[in-house]
Chains A and B, each alone.
Chain A
């Protein structure tokens, strides 16, 4: 019985570990796309954030400062994307692709400068803490390596990610700012005629998405592992993008898609460990297949914001 409980705890724990770095950029994606700007540059923003987070945490020995700087690094790329797409009406996909190259290039370039030519950082002295660690262990509330420990003794980034989903849902659906943001993404001309600054809202949304993608990168480099290397972020941003679309451009939907993907990863690893007679290469496709099947079966058709990707011309000139 305890074995089964621990197996379940392992799958849940792995789900949380996998999902967390995806939730940040997925929520970022929801926010920017709800304002009408496509951001496929999430991957590059995560990559740059993962590097900056680890580098700052290494040099300052402060993981929280690293985490914050990772967000700022992502936000700086978000600002570039906003300048290109909002101010200069550039094709949003093309700008996003450029951001992906730029994020990787910048991270590796700076890494080579400060880490003696290496495309990876050294191990950070302090990772993001485990805020509930005091509850687990001998003579404490829960025994170590038990169900509660395996499920709930998580890095702070995990709790922050869930809080972020709540906050972003609240802002999008329960505040005036959120309503304006959604209006800008559905019908910018109407929003503009009501005196909402499409320009400001979109700038804010794109920069925020960069900030969150950067945090997602750091959630990888200074929580899941403790350093950045050049393959650490490989496709996370794109999976987050897919999660956002599967989640119908809603924070709660994106969360669910990330959790399903993480859960399928956990299940895959668990089945691999149990020695199920399926080749590991085939088993490795399970998370992708399962995610698609579940989301198509349950979620159904997903409808993007009406003005997404369209150039908004205020028409003053």
Chain B
């Protein structure tokens, strides 16, 4: 009886997978990159990897269009809309306005956007994918708190607004949990491009005694990692695994799995589950965020085991990571 059931289950799975593939073959998904381009070793590249994976797994067709400047977003959206794609992605919050405007003009076309939520004003044909950045920041903060020898760690933010503050307060909470006596120096560069400023801020933090600095600051972070390299200290990367930038000095990275989000929403579309007008939140629970796989190079196994314990607690809802100053103050 049991074997029959197993066989039946297997047949069902096969049938459903092949049905999915057969149906999926006609589906086409495209994305518009922001000015970073498709090989930016960050967001856009991660998004494209997610689409490529969906192409391989489901046999759908995928494409991308690169933006050279902010003014290209809307025309690129229009071009892809005219080309008749089933779903069009905008990668990054910079495309917030372009997606909304295009979506309102073309109500029958499906769109999705990374890192932007319209709240109650989300158009019916747009899905927003956002991330709980505080969760991976919390984990790297915990690692920093455990590994600091001086009891001082740093945080360098890009431009101060709620999205980047999620990194800051998640990180601070992680440090606090691991090492309640540790001091966190926090400073914003008010830029995502000024690498020299990132270097100067990090230099100052190291000079003041910090031995680990986490950055959530885009191109500014190149300077932060450079300072760590020159001074022989630790830096913590962001968005992608940034260990390749300074293999001996990047301790770990707080990763946003844009690829997983893109893949997941692609799957929903294929399965007919794509719901517009909603915001999907990606976090540890649905593998939308995490820490870098290279962490094991420098972080001792027992600390990583503790981090795994924290991940389990966060997934189970036993531990809620603060994302704002108010939440952090009561953490």
Binding site for B on A (CB under 8 A): 6, 10, 13-14, 17-18, 21, 108, 112, 116-120, 122-123, 145, 150, 220, 224-227, 229-232, 234, 265-266, 269-270, 272-273, 279-281, 283-284
Q: Which residues of A contact B196 (CB under 8 A)?
A: 17-18, 21, 220, 224-225, 265
When the two chains form the complex, which single residue of A6, A119, A225 contacts B195, counting CB atoms closer than 8 Å? Answer: A225
Q: Does B208 contact A (CB under 8 A)?
A: yes
Closest B residue to A21 using CB positions: B196
Given known A10-B204, A229-B219, contact A108–B37 (CB-CB < 8 A): yes
Binds A, one of B6-14, B222-230, B260-268, B274-282: B222-230
Q: Does B86 contact A (CB under 8 A)?
A: no
Closest A residue to B185 using CB positions: A273
Complex A-B, nearest 5 residue pairs according to Cβ-Cβ distance, in ascending order: A284-B190, A231-B193, A117-B39, A231-B219, A118-B39
Given known A119-B39, A269-B197, A269-B204, contact A280–B223 (CB-CB < 8 A): no
A281 and B199 form a contact (CB under 8 A): no
B222 and A229 form a contact (CB under 8 A): yes
A224 and B37 form a contact (CB under 8 A): no
Closest B residue to A104 using CB positions: B68
When the two chains form the complex, which single residue of B39, B187, B192, B208 contacts A231, counting CB atoms closer than 8 Å? Answer: B192
A280 and B190 form a contact (CB under 8 A): yes
A231 and B218 form a contact (CB under 8 A): yes
B201 and A273 form a contact (CB under 8 A): yes
A281 and B200 form a contact (CB under 8 A): no
Min CB distance A159 to B, Å, is 18
9 inter-chain pairs at a CB distance below 8 angstroms, sorted by A residue, are: A10-B204, A21-B196, A118-B41, A145-B207, A225-B226, A231-B218, A280-B187, A281-B159, A281-B160
A265 and B200 form a contact (CB under 8 A): yes
Bound-state Cα–Cα, A281 to B157, Å: 12
A224 and B40 form a contact (CB under 8 A): no
B201 and A272 form a contact (CB under 8 A): yes
When the two chains form the complex, which single residue of B40, B191, B208, B244 contacts A273, counting CB atoms closer than 8 Å? Answer: B208
Bound-state Cα–Cα, A18 to B219, Å: 16
* Interface residues as binary, B156-199 with A (CB distance below 8 Å gives 1, 0 otherwise): 00011000000000000000000000000101111111111101
Bound-state Cα–Cα, A37 to B296, Å: 57
Binding site for A on B (CB under 8 A): 35-41, 159-160, 185, 187-197, 199-201, 203-205, 207-208, 218-219, 222-223, 226, 229, 244-246
Closest A residue to B219 using CB positions: A231
Min CB distance A188 to B, Å, is 37
When the two chains form the complex, which single residue of A117, A123, A280 contacts B160, counting CB atoms closer than 8 Å? Answer: A280
Q: Which residues of B contact A230 (CB under 8 A)?
A: 35-37, 40
Bound-state Cα–Cα, A118 to B33, Å: 13
B219 and A123 form a contact (CB under 8 A): no
* Extra A-B contacts (20), CB below 8 Å, given A119-B39, A225-B226, A283-B190: A18-B196, A18-B200, A112-B37, A112-B39, A118-B41, A119-B36, A119-B37, A224-B195, A224-B196, A224-B199, A225-B195, A225-B199, A225-B222, A225-B223, A227-B222, A231-B192, A266-B200, A280-B160, A281-B160, A281-B188
Q: Which residues of A contact B191 (CB under 8 A)?
A: 284
B39 and A234 form a contact (CB under 8 A): no
Q: Which residues of A contact B207 (CB under 8 A)?
A: 6, 10, 145, 150
B218 and A269 form a contact (CB under 8 A): no
Bound-state Cα–Cα, A10 to B200, Å: 9
B201 and A119 form a contact (CB under 8 A): no
Q: Which residues of B contact A220 (CB under 8 A)?
A: 195-196
Closest A residue to B198 using CB positions: A225
Q: Which residues of B contact A284 (CB under 8 A)?
A: 189-191
When the two chains form the complex, which single residue of A17, A226, A273 contacts B187, counting CB atoms closer than 8 Å? Answer: A273
